[in-house]
Structure 1
Amino acid sequence: MRRRFRHRLARVLCLAAGLGLSFAAQAWGPQGHALIADIAAAHLQPAVRAEVSSLLAAEGHHRLDEIASWPDAIRHDRPRTGRWHYVDIPLDAAGYKASRDCPHDHCVVARIPYFAHILGDRSASQRQRIEALKFLVHFVGDVQQPMHAEDHDDKGGNDVRLSYFGHRTNLHRIWDSGIVDHALDLHVRSDYSIDYGPTRAAAIRLDRQITPREREQWTRGINSRHLNAAAIRWANQAHRLARRVAYGDLPAPPRRHWSETYQQQAWPVVRRQLERGGVRLAAVLNTTLGR
């Protein structure tokens, strides 16, 4: 099961590369999604942890980080899910507007409460709940990524071609994985798998930096009845960071010797969004599955 999942994800990424794309809806790369899942897993209530473990075990998995990138792997076979990974809030807009940014609920803001409802419905089939868990873990991470909460007529930054630390890339991919990998020295293998050991160790380090006050602030208002409002707040927060940092700190061309400065400005923001994602995911799972 896990090998088939990895091969499917690698096939999708290779197809995207062959088409000249950089997987605009990927959001965090597998490292980022695994970091968020690992931080969340450390803060699940005992009963919730047991239920999550039972759902994971039904497909031969043991940890949340093993399924955190599954929604990226199935996009080729289920293209309808593509728009669920992000929300196109115009970069110059004040914030999220459902009628403009999320038609027919096809955006990450609407999908978070949708899949939380299915996961929490114990009358739903096991298969439905497992799939809902996979989407929920992924999408709570996606909505924290600034490039997934903005629209600047450049395909989420994919059209902004750049060279970052000597590697040809684009703005979206830098925020997906470039900043994370450079800061934490984490790398994706050629088959798109990751080494979970270093990633889990990095998640522990990030988790230890979070203060009790930050945990309280980041989870304020998270409950099963108002999860849509929480998702909107997270998207608006990510949108502001896209405008202020992702684009605001991007120097005008020609960009010479800019990577180090941009990394220093962007990494604290990326680190904080990963930490927020982990803390918020734990709170969503606890409120969704808590009895």
Structure 2
Amino acid sequence: MLLKTMKMLLLTTPVISALSAAPAHAWGQNGHRIVGELAAMHITDTTRDALVPLLDGESLPQIATWADEMRSAPEEFWQKKSSRWHYINFSKDDAKPSYDAHSHHNKETVADILEGIEYSISVLKNEKASLAEKQFALRFLVHLVGDSHQPFHAGHSEDRGGNRISVTFFGQDTNLHSLWDTKLIENENLSYTEFAKFVDTSNQTLISDYLASSPSDWLIESNNIANSLYKENETNVSYSYIYKNLPIVKTRLQQGGIRLAGLLNSLFDKSAKPLVKALKMPANSEL
């Protein structure tokens, strides 16, 4: 199974380590909407038609923020269990994971973002799943693909993905996680549609490179970026920081949108070609 393979890849990669407390929301509303808008630009007509009943009158960018918005709902799932879906943290001291690799197909037992993606895909592939279950899965999947491309959703457990690292942004107090999920994007003063249009690409070589990946790859990329930012340890953020790091933000959003489209195409359009309109297809995969 593709997602089981992804899980094993992530767990056997040297940088991986323990889960910890949940970080704050990733990318903020605009970031998630940019990923959703980019995906909408790259899905096939067949995929777009298949998504109509699941979107229920909304669009991919509209549903992209739902998983964060629902975290204030009073139900036990949202208050006590949903936060773990959004991240996978790494310890800077550990080289091995502290949990076992196994598939989770019950939303109550999802332990991290990779299992959340796995669960969502399994529901969308399940012909017996109800419309409501598939709508839930799609909304989470769109959101989690965005989360997986925010570096500090694969950050260190010790600082809760940068939440405990104080920085100033043009003299205003914030933290490293918030800087990357919101402030660097909002500083551009663009709507999500403008931002998505500016970072979109039709470069097939670049798209093929992005699609030659799996969700575990995305999280490893995020962890590597987070580690480099930890090492730089810049706490007084202004123009030079933006000049150096905004291109990384734009690339991660671009990758997130195109990869989300590739994942949706591989789920809903059997004619979508791997590395052109769909993700890399590992051997023996049912996706």
Letter in 2 for 1:249: E
Report if aligned partners of 2:40, 2:60 keep a CA contact under 8 Å in 1: yes
1:239 matched to which residue of 2?
Answer: 223
Structure 1 gaps of 5+ residues are 1-22, 187-197, 222-229
The aligned length equals 239
Letter in 1 for 2:195: A
Report if aligned partners of 2:24, 2:177 keep a CA contact under 8 Å in 1: no
Letter in 2 for 1:275: Q
Letter in 2 for 1:233: D
- State how far apart, in whole Å, the 1-side matches of 2:49 and 2:98 are: 36
Q: Are 2:61 and 1:65 equivalent residues in the alignment?
A: yes
Report if aligned partners of 1:89, 1:101 keep a CA contact under 8 Å in 2: no
Report if aligned partners of 2:24, 2:163 keep a CA contact under 8 Å in 1: no
**Residue 91 to residue 270, structure 1, CA distance change in 2 (3 Å):** farther
Superposed displacement of residue 117, structure 1:
1.5
- State how far apart, in whole Å, the 1-side matches of 2:244 and 2:194 are: 24
Q: 1:282 aligns with which of 247, 251, 261?
A: 261
Q: Are 2:190 and 1:206 equivalent residues in the alignment?
A: no
Superposed displacement of residue 215, structure 1:
0.7
Residue identity (%):
31
Q: What do the CA deviations read for 1:27-48 (whole angstroms, capped 9, x no partner)?
A: 1100000000000011111111
- State how far apart, in whole Å, the 1-side matches of 2:101 and 2:253 are: 24
Q: What are the residue-to-residue correspondences of 1:100-179 with 2, within 5 Å?
A: 105-179=110-184
Q: What are the residue-to-residue correspondences of 1:51-62 with 2, within 5 Å?
A: 51-57=50-56, 60-61=57-58
Letter in 1 for 2:99: S
What do you get for the CA RMSD once the two structures are aligned?
A: 2.2
What SS does structure 2 have at the residue aligned with 1:185?
Answer: coil
- State how far apart, in whole Å, the 1-side matches of 2:101 and 2:185 are: 28
Q: 1:269 aligns with which of 232, 248, 254?
A: 248
Report if aligned partners of 1:26, 1:176 keep a CA contact under 8 Å in 2: yes
2:13 matched to which residue of 1?
Answer: none
**Residue 162 to residue 277, structure 1, CA distance change in 2 (3 Å):** same
Superposed displacement of residue 69, structure 1:
0.6
- State how far apart, in whole Å, the 2-side matches of 1:47 and 1:170 are: 42
What SS does structure 2 have at the residue aligned with 1:99?
Answer: coil
1:99 matched to which residue of 2?
Answer: 99
**Residue 154 to residue 110, structure 1, CA distance change in 2 (3 Å):** same
What SS does structure 2 have at the residue aligned with 1:162?
Answer: strand
Letter in 2 for 1:215: I
Structure 1 segments, 4+ long, off by >3 Å, are 91-94, 100-105
What SS does structure 1 have at the residue aligned with 2:71?
Answer: coil
Structure 2 gaps of 5+ residues are 1-21, 271-287
1:216 matched to which residue of 2?
Answer: 208
State the TM-score, normalized to the length of structure 1. Answer: 0.76
1:45 matched to which residue of 2?
Answer: 44
Superposed displacement of residue 211, structure 1:
2.3
Q: What do the CA deviations read for 1:82-137 (whole angstroms, capped 9, x no partner)?
A: 0110001224556x847279996411012112101211223211000001000000
